Structure 1
Amino acid sequence: MTSLSDRSAVDLRRLIGTKEISPVELLDDCLARIEAVNPAINAVVALDVEGARTAAREAERQVLRGEALGPLHGLPIGIKDLSETKGLRTTWGSLIYKDHIPNRDESTAAAVRAAGGIIFAKTNTPEFGAGANTRNGVYGATGNPFAPDRTPAGSSGGSAAALAAGMMPLATGSDMGGSLRTPAAYCGIVGFRPTPGLIPSDKRLLGYSPLSVDGPMGRSVADAALLLSALAREDSVDPLSWPVDPKSFFPLPEIDLARLKIAVSEDLGFAPVDDEIRAVFTERCGLFADLFQSSVERDPELGDAHRTFAVLRAESFEAGQRTLAERHRDLLQPPVRANLDQAQSFTLADHAKAHAEQTKLYRRFQYLFEDIDLLICPTAAVSPFPHAEWHPTAINGEPLEHYFQWIALTYGLTLTGHPVVALPCGIDHKGLPFGIQIVGKRRGDAQVLAAALAIERAFATRPKLARPVPDLAALGLRS
């Protein structure tokens, strides 16, 4: 019998609304799953059991009273530990904040509560989101549910691993250089990097920068779209926010894939990619090309995306962590220190050039979509590696210039500002989850999600493309 915690968020929300299950029952099921499998992978790092049970009982009463219910009503939601949650420990993965209990909700967490979601758990993250490998000095490393000694990537690795293991129906993530998309690929779940400003944020220090965004994560496209419908809104607190209709994201419109023209690229024309990953991607393209009207190989012109991203990324760390480093450098982990050291090496001229290059890159990227509807490429350049290693140091025998260069497939797309769905696409050459990125047109968030939903349905009928599921018995779950 399938546990409630394994069912889709869409189904669970429907069952709550029809009084077929209770939010209390669902919460207890999620807590039991966490107790059973979290010791093996360390994805959930803080819980508010008492507060969540109080909220679940009230959610149950609201259903019985026939009150209007929000889109997330009664669903237990995991919040990435980079977002403040009122009364629930928030550390940013840093020893500096290891005992921090916020007295407020950051805007994304507040939106979850406002939509009826029950915030009951925090999910692990690397310190301040740096490193693309979910390990920190406060909670330690998170393991991949498919291979606990390997990384779920980062920085939303805790959310991705918890979802894959059925600890919660939905979770939040965030993404600068791939922090949401790479964990989705490594754990066989769905992540969505929205157009900057679609999900407004009050936590970004560089409010006009389009690099960092919050995004929904789920085990299916429909689940991620449900969470997006609760998070997308206009809010003047975010200078990139614009008027949106949250209802346009759920339910998603039907898309006829046979009418779509796609381009595929194994490396976006610039990213280092393991040769075996290239081979897997080429094979998968051959297995799904028939779904579309046409499929062509085409690389976007991203120019010197490595240098451009390095400089723009450095601005965020300079603004956010420089003062902390001056006071507590000995408490900071290597990825944060590396980012700050790199930031000091850049000149004003470097920053001016990077912003100009990003603008040129963005404008060139628009031409790509003049005769195609979607761009598809791999999500991760290498198969999941041991989490004891901070990061890959070489790909195909070639040393990487920066520690984060192994995620170039994702940060190249970050620079464009376009919406991207990270979708599971079977397993790789090592038997671990493999994922693709589906890139849509400028501000075409609903359209790319709708296309991803249709692609996901088609993949489910083809064994080599279907979403993989971890062996929960190997993680400690008893039938």
Structure 2
Amino acid sequence: MTEELTEKFAYELVELLKTGEISVKEAIDASRKRHEDVDSNVNALPMTFYDEAIQKADKIDIKKEKENKKSLMGLPIAVKDYNDVGGIPTTYGSKIFANNIPTKSDATVQRLVNNGAIPIAKSNVPEWAGGHTFNPVYGITRNPYNLEKIAGGSSGGSSVALATNQVWLATGNDLGGSLRTPASFNNVVGLRPSVGVVPRGLRYHSFDPLWVEGPLAKCVKDIALMLDAGTGLCETDPLSFDHSCQSFFDSLDNFQLPARVAFTEDLGIVPVEQEVRSTVRNILPHLKTLGAEVGSDIPDFSGAIDSFHTLRGLLLAYMMGDLLKTRRDDILIDIVKNIEVGYEVKNEQIISAEKFRQDLYRKMVNFFEDYDFLICPTCSVLPFDIKTPFVTEIDGIPCKTYIDWFAITFALTLTSCPIISLPIGFSSDGLPVGIQILGKPRQEDRLLAFAKLIEEKVGLHRNSPI
């Protein structure tokens, strides 16, 4: 029974909870049993609190939850260790915060809880930020498709927990690709919504448009389900809003074909491994069978890498500058360097980065006059050796910084558009490869509906690799 339940998609389990075919306790017990069976191999969920979840399950009134169309009916979820769950440690992967226990959940988690989710675990993260999930508090998270490869980051723990069927939904957040990269590396689905679609906690710069919260799941329908439960206006997040779509889940079958799609292997600015290029080309026949017209005209992304470095540095200086003054020696050296970028950047660089971001958004508006979506690889590389902290070279071209290997995701961050990472195939060694699909601003409903069509065409095998 346990294996049967954990292999189901979230929307299937929610229906079983709604009809009373299974209880919330049975769902929690299934997650616990699966965690005990597999997590020692991958270290995705280093902090669990199943007993506390069982206590909350006793208080779930399914009859009342049925009155809320957005309710997850007591579905167990994993919460990324950058988000607060009241009474549970939030470490950010840092020894400085190893004993940090928030008194209440943040806005992202509380919205999900209000709509019937029950957190059962914290998922592992890199120390503060990054594309490789390891830290001095909980250790390293491994890729279930090859335990000697990285899981990606920073939502690596959440993605691996999904890939190994330990949970049905998990939270993530995304600055430069932290939802999308691990989703691709672990054969799951991750959505970076438009800023404000999912409310953010107080840790973040309230007016920053780069870092967003978003859902991770095993299929597009589950992404829509979780987005319904997590979206909406929140008075503590000034950029949050009530989306025009009343139900992302109900809108999944409303997409009207054909569509016009731009396809690029490298955005014209980044190196990409040859096997990644050949694998993502597999999407082209599927687009044609859907009747989509495929073109190659994309906006000019030149300048995106420098602009992102500047804006990311400013954000990290804002968020961590005070901590740097008192605990410098306890912060990962690469993060220290990033914070210092924010303090050392010149006014001209800030102005140039802001102008680039504005100009790119206007280019995207013009782009969408002719196209509905832009598709490109999620990652420039395949999951790499777990002992390697970051990629230094791609296809013979050196990387200038430790984050440039995921420039193909952070370049798209600057567009302010919603982006979904969707599995598209596997390398010759059986490592997952994903594509990014970028849609029009605040049109998550159309993006998800189109992604579901592609997902159905591709039809990838989604069973846990371990």
Task: Quote how far apart the aligned CAs of 1:345 are.
Answer: 3.2
Amino acid at match of 2:440: K
CA distance in 2, matches of 1:452, 1:121: 28
Could you say which residue in structure 2 is the equivalent of 1:463? none
CA distance in 1, matches of 2:455, 2:94: 37
- State whether residues 260 and 292 of structure 1, in contact with CA within 8 Å, keep that contact through their aligned partners in structure 2: yes
Task: Determine if the alignment matches structure 1 residue 133 to structure 2 residue 132.
Answer: yes
Could you say which residue in structure 2 is the equivalent of 1:5? 6
- State whether residues 233 and 245 of structure 1, in contact with CA within 8 Å, keep that contact through their aligned partners in structure 2: no
Task: Determine if the alignment matches structure 1 residue 108 to structure 2 residue 102.
Answer: no
Amino acid at match of 2:77: I
Could you say which residue in structure 2 is the equivalent of 1:92? 92
Task: Quote how far apart the aligned CAs of 1:433 are.
Answer: 0.6
CA distance in 2, matches of 1:50, 1:256: 42
Mark the CA change 1:91 to 1:204 in structure 2 (over 3 Å): closer, same or farther. Answer: closer
What do the CA deviations read for 1:104-139 (whole angstroms, capped 9, x no partner)?
1110111111011111100001112x2211111111
Could you say which residue in structure 2 is the equivalent of 1:124? 124
Mark the CA change 1:65 to 1:264 in structure 2 (over 3 Å): closer, same or farther. Answer: closer
Could you say which residue in structure 1 is the equivalent of 2:26? 25
CA distance in 2, matches of 1:457, 1:329: 49
What do the CA deviations read for 1:215-266 (whole angstroms, capped 9, x no partner)?
0110010101111001110123222222325632122242456411111011
CA distance in 2, matches of 1:423, 1:247: 23
Amino acid at match of 2:372: D
- State whether residues 263 and 374 of structure 1, in contact with CA within 8 Å, keep that contact through their aligned partners in structure 2: yes
Could you say which residue in structure 1 is the equivalent of 2:407? 408
Task: Quote how far apart the aligned CAs of 1:52 are.
Answer: 0.3
CA distance in 2, matches of 1:372, 1:365: 10
Task: Quote how far apart the aligned CAs of 1:63 are.
Answer: 2.5
CA distance in 2, matches of 1:193, 1:102: 26
What count of residue pairs does the alignment treat as equivalent? 464
CA distance in 2, matches of 1:296, 1:32: 48
CA distance in 1, matches of 2:336, 2:291: 46
CA distance in 2, matches of 1:5, 1:231: 22
Mark the CA change 1:352 to 1:391 in structure 2 (over 3 Å): closer, same or farther. Answer: same
Task: Quote how far apart the aligned CAs of 1:206 are.
Answer: 2.1
- State whether residues 71 and 226 of structure 1, in contact with CA within 8 Å, keep that contact through their aligned partners in structure 2: no
**Percent of pairs with identical residues:** 35
What do the CA deviations read for 1:361-405 (whole angstroms, capped 9, x no partner)?
111121111111111110000000122211101111211111111
Q: CA RMSD in A?
A: 1.7
Could you say which residue in structure 1 is the equivalent of 2:238? 239
Could you say which residue in structure 2 is the equivalent of 1:49? 50
Mark the CA change 1:272 to 1:65 in structure 2 (over 3 Å): closer, same or farther. Answer: closer
Task: Quote how far apart the aligned CAs of 1:28 are.
Answer: 0.2
- State whether residues 181 and 379 of structure 1, in contact with CA within 8 Å, keep that contact through their aligned partners in structure 2: yes
Please show how residues 173-322 of structure 1 align to structure 2 within 5 Å.
173-245=172-244, 247-255=246-254, 258-322=257-321
Task: Determine if the alignment matches structure 1 residue 469 to structure 2 residue 436.
Answer: no
CA distance in 2, matches of 1:253, 1:341: 44
- State whether residues 383 and 430 of structure 1, in contact with CA within 8 Å, keep that contact through their aligned partners in structure 2: no
CA distance in 2, matches of 1:426, 1:302: 26
Q: What secondary structure is seen at the aligned counterpart in 1 of 2:450?
A: helix
Return 5+ residue gaps in structure 1 as ranges: 461-465, 473-479
Return 5+ residue gaps in structure 2 as ranges: none
Q: TM-score, normalised on structure 1? A: 0.93
Mark the CA change 1:236 to 1:372 in structure 2 (over 3 Å): closer, same or farther. Answer: same
Mark the CA change 1:249 to 1:283 in structure 2 (over 3 Å): closer, same or farther. Answer: closer
- State whether residues 163 and 218 of structure 1, in contact with CA within 8 Å, keep that contact through their aligned partners in structure 2: yes
Task: Quote how far apart the aligned CAs of 1:342 are.
Answer: 2.8
Task: Quote how far apart the aligned CAs of 1:269 are.
Answer: 1.4
